[in-house]
Amino acid sequence: MSQLLCRLSKLSFRNKDVVKQKSVRLFSTSPCLALCCVWNDTLGLVEGGSYIGKVLFFDPAKKEILQVPDKTIPQKLLNSKTIGASQGWGFSSEESNHNSLHISDLFNPLTASKSKTKMIPLPPLTSMLYGQTKVVCNVAMSSSSPDEEDCVVAIKFFGRQLSMCKPGRDIAWTNILIPLDCAENSNLMYSKRDQRFYLPAAGGNYLCSWDLHFGNDPKFIELVFPDLPSFPQSTWEDLDSCIREDHWVESPSGQSFLVKRYSRVGSKGPIKQMMVFREEDQVTANGTRNMCYTQDIGDLCIFLSKNDPFCVVASSCPGLIPNSIYLMDYCVAICDLTKGTVTRVDFPEMPSTPFWIPPCSV
């Protein structure tokens, strides 16, 4: 474990200064990347069957590795696999039983300074006839805390299964068959403005959505693109051969964007093209939404990873690059829409929990 900590301390920007390392007790309102937890086996278990260790984060604004020391890490959490994150809460499944899930605040900046890690069990997963629960695409949560009475958790699996429940209140998941073929790389997200879960359909021409009651039929919204970028036909043909991810993301003010990311087939990480479409009207008279191509999202940063995407006002977090997209997949990359450049952040060893954590008030 000490070797892992040493390697993580040497993270650096390409052609930039070495990332600094800093121990903290409290977090600012900056977003961060959850890296890993580190513990010392020689100390053995403490009361309650837990270890004492550190939690590591990467702050993209300050370019620092932040260490939260003296964190109690339950043994059950160490024997689990992180499958997703939402609103700063991590979702894990037991290594011995992937259908056994729990939520924890281990990587929640709001509670990271607290020594005790909170764990909330979820109902056991069950597979639908045309679904599976072994491979999770991403998770989304409607509230900032699973303790809130109206909080709903949703899990999108590889394939067409979507499962929802209210933590601490439901004894079983409500399984839903996604009616449209949705791109496997499309991320489920929750809209605070509309109070609905959204999922882009394959092709990015429709949005499929569910309300918080999740017993009702889903709604469909057609997305209209009146001004696609003026690329040569050869460029469009090249993009057709790429892997595409569609991300529906909402800014703090309620403005919505559709982000299309194109990557080379069979390669890890290289970004061929990023396109951003801004929602011009909420819903038109005929029930569609107009999405206009833009290279200017203003004083915003969009954060994309294998969790629900989110937006941050750059000026509220000094050090963030406005009009940029921060990506986490095979590597950390910053796509500057103003300059049209992509800067990578190299990790000698990939984080075990590659999820962006939204800013929290402390």
| 158, two tokens | 């590889």
Write out the two tokens for 181. Answer: 């073929």
User: Does 87 reside within a domain?
Assistant: yes
Which tokens belong to 317?
């977090």
Residue 39: pLDDT above 70? no
Q: Is 361 helix (H, G, I), strand (E, B) or coil?
A: coil
Statement: residue 179 has pLDDT above 90 = no
How many structural domains are present in the chain?
1
∠ at Cα 124 (118, 127), nearest 5°? 140
Structure token pair of residue 284: 């038109």
Encoded tokens for 335: 């796509």
- Answer for the pair 326, 356: CB distance below 8 angstroms, yes or no: yes
The tokens for 302 are 């969009």
* pLDDT (mean) for 267-294: 80
Beta bridge pairs of residue 225: none
Residue 160 lies in a domain: yes
Radius of gyration (Cα) for the chain, nearest Å?
Answer: 20
Question: Quick one: pLDDT at residue 111?
Answer: 65
Taking every pair of C-alpha atoms in the chain, what is the biggest distance, in angstroms? 66
**Residue 44: what pLDDT?**
54
Side chain identity at residue 196, one-letter code? R
Report helix, strand or coil for 291.
strand
Residue 8 belongs to some domain of the structure: yes
224 is a domain residue: yes
Do 191 and 134 contact (CB within 8 A), yes or no?
no
pLDDT over threshold 60, residue 11: no
Domain containing 50 equals 2-357
Evaluate whether residue 104 is within a structural domain: yes
* Residue 362 within any structural domain of the chain: no
Classified as helix, coil or strand, 42 is: helix
**DSSP H or E stretch at residue 243:** strand 243-250
Tokens of 2: 């000490």
- How would you classify residue 197: left for phi > 0, otherwise alpha for psi between -120 and 50, otherwise beta? beta
> For residue 7, is pLDDT > 70?
no
The reported pLDDT for the residue numbered 40 is 60
Total residue count of the chain as it appears in this document: 362
pLDDT digits (tens, 9 = 90+) for 63-121: 888 887 777 788 888 788 889 899 889 999 988 888 899 999 888 766 655 667 888 99
- Predicted confidence at residue 22, as pLDDT, reads 57
Assess if residue 57 is contained within a domain.
yes
pLDDT at 292: 94
Structure confidence by residue, pLDDT tens digits, 115-152: 678 889 999 999 988 788 998 989 999 998 899 989 99
For residue 169, how many C-alpha atoms fall within 13 Å in the half-sphere facing its CB?
A: 12
Mean pLDDT of the chain, nearest integer: 81
Residue-level pLDDT at 277: 96
Asked whether 125 and 163 are in contact (CB, 8 A), the reply is yes
Per-residue tokens: 204: 């990015």
Q: Which amino acid is at 80?
A: S
Task: Please check whether residue 77 is in contact with residue 117, taking contact to mean a CB–CB distance below 8 angstroms.
Answer: yes
What ranges in the chain are assigned the alpha helix state H? 2-8, 75-78, 233-240
- Kindly give the pairing relationship between strand 341-346 and strand 355-357: unpaired
Q: Which residues lie below 8 Å from residue 230, measured CB to CB, with a gap of 6+?
A: none
Q: CATH no. for residue 328?
A: 2.120.10
Burial bucket for residue 168 (CB in 10 Å: 0-12, 13-18, 19+):
middle
Mean pLDDT of 290-314: 93
Task: State yes or no: pLDDT of 51 exceeds 80.
Answer: no
Please report whether residue 331 resides in a domain. Answer: yes
